[in-house]
Chains A and B, each alone.
Chain A
Amino acid sequence: MSIFRKLLTAVRGGATDVGEAIVDSQAIRILEQELRDSKKALNDAKTGLTSIMAEKMGVDRKVKELSAKITEHEGYAMSAMDKGDESLALDVANKIAEFEHDLSIQQGIQEGYESKVVSLKKMIRQTERNIQAMDREVSVVKTTAKVQKANELASAKFSGSNSSLTSATDSLERIKARQQKKEDQASAAMDFAAEDDGDDLQARLKSAGIVNSASSGSSILDRLKKKQGDK
């Protein structure tokens, strides 16, 4: 099963029953146990890799030794032939054949170890990545469980009841109404301030005799009449 799938199972846990803890703590415990198992398996794999690499080094050494021996004996066979000692040369050649036989066996083992080391290294890398991902995910799941607890506490504090009883749309409406009220208050305050300023200005103009207390309409009419007369 993939890690995501397992996490889904864990998180789904108690979700069917409203009010129950969302994260199935049992499932989380199992996940954590699996994590521990994976980490142990990883350690075992690493130990395994080390011993395989040690064995491979032994084989490497044998291959090297056999190759050196073959070269060495080839030299002997040549010297024997130079001296015209055919039978000695043949004995040496037989020995070389033995060495070559051993060498091919050891080379086979060497190749086997090499491919094993490669695949083991690959597996270790993959396991390490999986463990990291799992660690992260388990931590997030545990966090959300805490957040859920917090939310339940908060909604109990906020409304004296479960959060599911306070409707989201109601809350939104309340927030919008509050915002509207603030805006209304702000614009009312601005209007009021403007009016206030205007009144103040009028009063000051009047008291300075610039605007007379009679309706300014009549003075405008006077002005217009005068304009007409000028034409």
Chain B
Amino acid sequence: MSNENLQQLIKDLAGKQLADGTQLSIEMFDGENTVACIKVEDREEFPIYMTVDEGQILCITYLFGDDQVDPNKRAALAEDMLIMNVSIPLSAFSKIGDQYIMFGALSPKASIDELVHEIELLSDNVLEAIEAVADYLKEAA
């Protein structure tokens, strides 16, 4: 795990803004210095977790858990996510444990501007995605 790379990225991202002037806040998240947490202003509900290793920079956002999915619509949800995957710019759906996620991966050599662009798209995609699959989720209690 290349912690130094992550620390450098945090330094480079600090104080950055998205294209529309939205602020980003970023901090090291865990004691082992392996995960950074990025929050997009006004979208704090969906933080983006960032990790770096030799192979890639990985940005992950949690969408919802299995328990929020209408059990009768699970298969349809999975199929729609698979179908949507290709047409979503730069991000893709996946699942970690019982949590559905959206993620984007970049080369560790990517520029900071490319990374900011990735974060912006991921943040937008997450909101779009939840809206798109809302019908498959249980009614909010």
A residues neighboring B (CB under 8 Å): 11, 14-15, 18, 20-23, 136, 139-140, 142-144, 146-151, 153-155, 158, 163-164, 166-176, 178-179, 182
Which of A14, A15, A144 contacts B60 (CB under 8 A)?
A144
Contact bitstring B54-68, A, C-beta under 8 A = 1, else 0: 111010101111111
Which chain A residues border B67 with CB–CB below 8 Å?
A: 18, 164
B79 within 8 A of A: no
Can you offer 12 A-B residue contacts whose CB atoms are under 8 A?
Answer: A15-B97, A140-B56, A142-B1, A148-B96, A163-B99, A167-B68, A167-B141, A169-B134, A169-B137, A170-B140, A172-B45, A175-B46
B81 within 8 A of A: no
Which chain A residues border B49 with CB–CB below 8 Å?
A: 147, 150-151
Which chain B residues border A164 with CB–CB below 8 Å?
A: 64-68, 98-99
Q: A146 near B34 (CB under 8 angstroms)? A: yes
Asked whether A175 and B42 contact (CB < 8 A) given A18-B67, A140-B58, A163-B99, the answer is yes
Q: B66 near A171 (CB under 8 angstroms)? A: no
B120 to chain A, nearest CB (A): 15
CA–CA, A23 and B140, complex, Å: 29
B114 within 8 A of A: no
Which chain A residues border B35 with CB–CB below 8 Å?
A: 146-147, 149-150
B130 within 8 A of A: yes
Within 8 A of A (CB), among B22-69: 29-30, 32, 34-35, 37, 42-47, 49, 51, 53-56, 58, 60, 62-68
Q: A136 near B55 (CB under 8 angstroms)? A: yes
CA–CA, A167 and B140, complex, Å: 6
CB nearest neighbor in A for B52? A143
Which chain B residues border A175 with CB–CB below 8 Å?
A: 42-43, 45-46, 127
Q: A150 near B37 (CB under 8 angstroms)? A: yes
Q: A149 near B62 (CB under 8 angstroms)? A: no
CB nearest neighbor in B for A136? B55
Which chain B residues border A182 with CB–CB below 8 Å?
A: 42
CA–CA, A182 and B62, complex, Å: 25
Asked whether A168 and B96 contact (CB < 8 A) given A140-B58, A146-B51, A175-B45, the answer is no
CA–CA, A175 and B98, complex, Å: 24
A161 to chain B, nearest CB (A): 12
CA–CA, A13 and B66, complex, Å: 16
CB nearest neighbor in B for A141? B96
Which chain B residues border A174 with CB–CB below 8 Å?
A: 45
Which chain B residues border A172 with CB–CB below 8 Å?
A: 45, 127, 130-131, 134
Which chain B residues border A143 with CB–CB below 8 Å?
A: 1, 34, 51, 53, 58
Q: A139 near B42 (CB under 8 angstroms)? A: no
A77 to chain B, nearest CB (A): 67
CA–CA, A166 and B30, complex, Å: 22
Identify the interface centre among A158, A168, A176: most chain B CB within 10 Å of its CB: A168
Within 8 A of A (CB), among B7-31: 29-30
CB nearest neighbor in B for A179? B42
Identify the interface centre among A158, A171, A173: most chain B CB within 10 Å of its CB: A171
Q: B65 near A163 (CB under 8 angstroms)? A: yes
Q: B97 near A14 (CB under 8 angstroms)? A: yes
